[in-house]
Amino acid sequence: MLALEKTHYIYYLKTNDKDQIVDFWSTGANGPLIENENWHLLTDKGETYQFSLDGEENPYERIFDEEGIPLLKWSNGTVMSRMDD
Residue 81 has a pLDDT of 86
Structure-model confidence comparison of residues 72 and 54, the more confident one? 72
Residue 59 has a pLDDT of 66
Other C-beta atoms closer than 10 Å to the C-beta of 73 total 20
Distance set, CA 52 to CA 18, 32, 47, 85 (Å): 23, 18, 8, 24
Per-residue pLDDT averaged across 22-50, rounded? Answer: 78
* Strand ranges in the chain using DSSP code E only, listed in sequence order: 9-15, 21-29, 39-46, 52-53, 56-57, 72-75, 78-81
pLDDT at 68 over 80: yes
